[in-house]
Amino acid sequence: MTDRGRRTERGAVLFDLDGTLIDSVYQHVLAWRDALEAEGIELPVWGIHRKVGMSGGLFARALLRETGAALDVAQAERLQANHEDAFARYAVGVRPLPGARALLERLTALEVPWAIATSGRRPRATAGVQLLRVAEAAPLITHDEVRFAKPDPDLFLAAADALGVPIEDCVVVGDSVWDLLAARRARALGVGLLSGGYGRDELERAGAFRVYEDPVDLLDHLDEIGIRDA
Amino acid sequence: MTDRGRRTERGAVLFDLDGTLIDSVYQHVLAWRDALEAEGIELPVWGIHRKVGMSGGLFARALLRETGAALDVAQAERLQANHEDAFARYAVGVRPLPGARALLERLTALEVPWAIATSGRRPRATAGVQLLRVAEAAPLITHDEVRFAKPDPDLFLAAADALGVPIEDCVVVGDSVWDLLAARRARALGVGLLSGGYGRDELERAGAFRVYEDPVDLLDHLDEIGIRDA
């Protein structure tokens, strides 16, 4: 049996970033609130929370539907820029989620390939990954590498490609319904984490095969997603 | 039939404030994160979110259990003060929830008595109520008026007393499981709103008789909680 064969039997793990490995969802949500209000769009914060993690383009369409506000291209670009500025103010409080680093290092030690796939853009994603202080380099796929972000499957498909593992052998770990929808469309197994602030039921109804509290809880139950020790 | 008799048949509505009438939950959550970190206590933000709305004393005990950190009286007081300071920085973005003012004014027009009952302290609660710009004065019960805040029933019992309506004829409207637990313990009917960012299932399992998105959604369905038009 080749080394490659052994690895593929174990599969690979594809992680979302915000709310899954780093504790940044609530800051993003308030940054969107500020950015939207600057454009004269008032939306309740919980409604924004439920859309965080989807691609910026879909987010803008969802806003259109809910507010009836017409969003032209210039305004959409300003909104994105406003959000980046506002997030920079909130980002000082962003920390890794409990067990995130230990989980990634455990997978590395077990020779289970892993990658990170986020709907965000590369500069901010890189800054987020740096918070994790993981020694090993792993593929990082962002919206800059694919045309359509979540809930399209492209980000996870690209991450599986980067690892050389068939997507059907991958477990996708995410905190939002958009991660789970993208996982299902990609034909991967979706696992939910509560650490982005969605309810367990929301994640299960979106197709989560299992739901854990946070990375440390997943680390304690790796056997349940078919990852064997050594 | 006396006026008093007619009112009691219609019952009364007792509202939570944060996440139910004003859109302040996410700001409170991040303010708690900052305050806790200043005391050397690192907790993931979603975990803080799930405890917001319970009394400060119970919140401190819940922290103790989850972090194992011993919290002495001086530290608990500092934590509370740190939170007030941090919230003041976030409060600039707090707005009324959609339909909050219209809902309260509709109840007034229908002669359905209503009151507000919050686990918070009076100065901040008063500032929150002012955001609603409601013409009519209504009872506001805070932690300063009762010994035990939510999930104890005392706040809602005091609010019903202030209206002179039996608690069994009251509908309690809140966004958190602590509101619904307090409602059940008080023998009132609990109604949940999603606008504090909890999932529908969490609220239903905590005893919500009905769940609506936000105040405007409740306003559109007043008949479902037994409030008749004139």
Which residues in A40-54 are b (16+ Cβ under 10 Å) and which e? ebebbbbbbbbbbbb
Distance from CA of B225 to the nearest CA of A (A): 23
Please choose, from the candidates B111, B228, B132, B118, the residue with its C-alpha nearest in 3D space to the C-alpha of residue B173.
B118
pLDDT per position as a tens digit, B150-186: 999 999 999 999 999 999 999 999 999 999 999 999 9
| Measured CA distances, B2 to A219, B9, B12 (Å) | 65, 11, 16
Q: Within its chain, how far is the Cα of A20 from the centroid?
A: 6
CA dist., res. A14 & res. A52, Å (int): 19
CA dist., res. B171 & res. B123, Å (int): 25
Quote the radius of gyration of chain B (alpha carbons, Å). Answer: 17
pLDDT per position as a tens digit, B60-73: 778 778 777 777 88
pLDDT per position as a tens digit, B71-127: 788 888 898 899 999 999 999 999 999 999 999 999 999 999 999 999 989 999 999
Q: What is the pLDDT along chain A (230 residues), one digit of tens a residue?
A: 445 544 446 699 999 999 999 999 999 999 999 999 998 889 999 999 988 888 777 887 787 787 777 778 888 889 889 999 999 999 999 999 999 999 999 999 999 999 999 999 999 999 999 999 998 789 999 999 999 999 999 999 999 999 999 999 999 999 999 999 999 999 999 999 999 999 899 999 999 999 999 999 999 999 999 998 76
Phi–psi pair at A173, nearest 5 degrees: -115, 120
* pLDDT score recorded for residue B75: 84
CA dist., res. B183 & res. B189, Å (int): 6
Beta A140-141 vs A114-117: how paired, if at all?
parallel
CA dist., res. B14 & res. B121, Å (int): 17
| Measured CA distances, A56 to A15, A147, B210 (Å) | 19, 11, 33
Residue contact B194–A46, C-beta within 8 A: yes
3-state per-residue secondary structure call for chain B: CCHHHHHHHHCEEEECCECCCECCHHHHHHHHHHHHHHCCCCCCHHHHHCCECECHHHHHHHHHHHHCCCCCHHHHHHHHHHHHHHHHHHHHHCCECCCHHHHHHHHHHCCCCEEEECCCCHHHHHHHHHHCCCCCCCCEECCCCCCCCCCCCHHHHHHHHHHCCCHHHEEEEECCHHHHHHHHHHCCEEEEEHHHCCCHHHHHHCCCCEEECCHHHHHCCHHHHCCCCC
* pLDDT score recorded for residue B1: 46
pLDDT per position as a tens digit, B5-42: 444 466 999 999 999 999 999 999 999 999 999 988 89
- In this predicted structure, the answer to whether residue B3 has a pLDDT above a threshold of 70 is no
| Residues on B contacting A at a C-beta cutoff of 8 Å | 19, 23, 25-27, 29-30, 33-34, 37, 42, 44-46, 49, 90, 93, 95, 97-98, 194-202, 214
Which residues of A are less than 8 Å from B44 in CB distance?
A: 23, 97-98, 195, 214
CA dist., res. A54 & res. A77, Å (int): 16
